[in-house]
Structure 1
């Protein structure tokens, strides 16, 4: 039985708030709960006495943990929304932005910059290269899918897989070309996903990309529902399938490119979270997209906590945890959905 949308919203929002609180409270440095509350209140309202806590506590809470928690929420929400929309656009429940080559396109761009050592934009060079690589990979995949003048969803998936494998080989070659163990470790950590570089300045772009993409997708929720019935049926309902796919794929590529550039290769969220959201509220995108966003945000915030505390004081790459948790969860979801023949 599916939950009422408002109940799903309430539960997921509560889980997200609890995860954000836990992410700010937990870490290598122990900070009392009341101190955490006072630090955040002082920065937000200006009320309180900064002398009541140390500079290091202020730095840990306000400049390290809180931006990281918020970035995890933004990335998780964005990847889940991208996955839900991609699955509808190609009518394939196994599709997500990573299957379309975006992850390894971004990886090639970032790794090439790191290995070559060229940084015309300073610390933002790797992120910019990752963003450009993601968009370039998607352009190749989409062009292959449009070969012959018609769009074929199956061809898109196959082209994405081929490009992904090819770019994976290029990435491995670039990593093997470096003789610096520290650089190799840095590259591999980025490939597996990391939120360690989060800061307040990094939050604006993913927040804007998520809001724009989410608004556009919700405005096209009914056409997305029509696409689930097939292109011919959608055309009969007045939905221009090819034009809609082109516009929305561009938005999804932009959003995913921004997220991958900031957080690296975090897999499985765009694949499993939409499935879980459909179990809760069905396939209507007016309900599915908000629930997927909340679920993705809460999931990645909780995963990030696990990545930081599982091998304390070492930190696991976030993508490793999402893969370990996501694989069995996805198998369970597939088994559960086998009893349900409706929707994707």
Structure 2
């Protein structure tokens, strides 16, 4: 690659990041504006800044208490949670596809989300692990996703070798088993109200978003993304095969363990807060690679922005399509992801990491 090509690629990547940043800001603004009570964009940001230190005294309060409550206590934390969940699931999808070296890999398909759901439903319906306090739901979901990933790798390992095809098939099988376990737990629940809550949560929802719920998933997504970004060379090496990665100095076994833990932590934490939202980690990385190629130094940040934008708009549709009723966000993502998955299966020319799929 010539210096001119490298410069053009850097400029293109910078332009994409700037455009996506503007789109994300616009998406957040519009998402907060829309609802049964429409609120002007200027009012939205005045309300937001009025709660920030150093700005509250400078902004004249021209909005009603009801508008302030709607924006700050209901819509804004929900939209920000959508940003965090979309970004995290997209990054998890990038990690899963690099780990499996398979363009069809995704936390939902690999069973990680289903495993997290088992742990989370135990907490929601039966109060399991209550001694862990406010972290019970997140830790139970993380434990379930970690156990699932361990089972998938155990089943896929034959004679010391791991086949990506076996990984994918084992993930689908374990996902079905974990989904059956979750359904069994739900049917054994003692309270009908709890069953309805759990069923709605299993299909994914941001309806229960509160400011108190944002800190942990935000820290996990930032930490997981930073770890993967620092490891972009190892991620790129994995795409070229184990032998090449070892030649380039990557400790395959240790790095896979790091990826498994990161994937489980990201998925478990996000599933605990938003339920099982599928197909985000499948669709977004593919679209991103079409834009910026397979270099994870660029794939990760672009996936972060694009996943956040996608979930924000998926949640807007979930809120407004059948208003005043609300759809689970997982239904919206599945309606988008199902056709995308079929298209991906039919597209024989798609290449991933330098090889044909």
| TM-score greater than 0.5 by the shorter chain | yes
Does residue 283 of structure 1 match 2:291? no
Q: What are the Cα deviations for residues 260-310 of structure 1, in whole angstroms up to 9, with x where unaligned? A: 111110000000100000100111111111111111011101111111111
Does residue 163 of structure 1 match 2:163? no
- Following superposition, the deviation at residue 42 of structure 1 comes to 0.8
Distance 1:145 1:334 in 2: 22
Scaled by the length of structure 2, the TM-score of the pair is 0.88
Does residue 139 of structure 1 match 2:147? no
Q: Which moved more, 1:286-295 or 1:168-177?
A: 168-177
- Following superposition, the deviation at residue 133 of structure 1 comes to 2.0
Distance 2:20 2:346 in 1: 23
Q: Please say if residues 142 and 264 of structure 2, whose CA atoms lie closer than 8 Å, have aligned partners that are also in contact.
A: no
Q: Please say if residues 2 and 279 of structure 1, whose CA atoms lie closer than 8 Å, have aligned partners that are also in contact.
A: no
In the alignment, which residue of structure 2 is the partner of 1:272? 283
The 3 A distance-change label for structure 1 pair 340 and 229 is closer
Does residue 130 of structure 1 match 2:123? no
Does residue 18 of structure 1 match 2:26? yes
The 3 A distance-change label for structure 1 pair 337 and 70 is farther
Distance 1:286 1:49 in 2: 40
In the alignment, which residue of structure 2 is the partner of 1:100? 110
Distance 1:128 1:8 in 2: 36
Structure 1 residues not aligned, in runs of 5+: none
Q: How many residues align?
A: 344
Q: What are the Cα deviations for residues 300-336 of structure 1, in whole angstroms up to 9, with x where unaligned? A: 0111111111111111101000011222234445566
In the alignment, which residue of structure 2 is the partner of 1:72? 82
Q: Which moved more, 1:299-308 or 1:162-171?
A: 162-171
Q: Please say if residues 275 and 333 of structure 1, whose CA atoms lie closer than 8 Å, have aligned partners that are also in contact.
A: no
In the alignment, which residue of structure 2 is the partner of 1:182? 193
Q: What are the Cα deviations for residues 42-78 of structure 1, in whole angstroms up to 9, with x where unaligned? A: 1122135675333322221111111111111111111
Does residue 233 of structure 1 match 2:241? no
In the alignment, which residue of structure 2 is the partner of 1:110? 120
Q: Which residue, 207, 212, 222 being the options, matches 1:196?
A: 207
Does residue 30 of structure 1 match 2:41? no
RMSD: 2.6
- Aligned to 2:38, the other structure's residue is in SS state coil
Q: Please say if residues 141 and 156 of structure 1, whose CA atoms lie closer than 8 Å, have aligned partners that are also in contact.
A: yes
Q: What are the Cα deviations for residues 97-140 of structure 1, in whole angstroms up to 9, with x where unaligned? A: 12232211121122223333555566664444323322232233
Q: Which residue, 314, 319, 339 being the options, matches 1:308?
A: 319
Q: Please say if residues 141 and 271 of structure 2, whose CA atoms lie closer than 8 Å, have aligned partners that are also in contact.
A: yes
- Following superposition, the deviation at residue 152 of structure 1 comes to 3.7
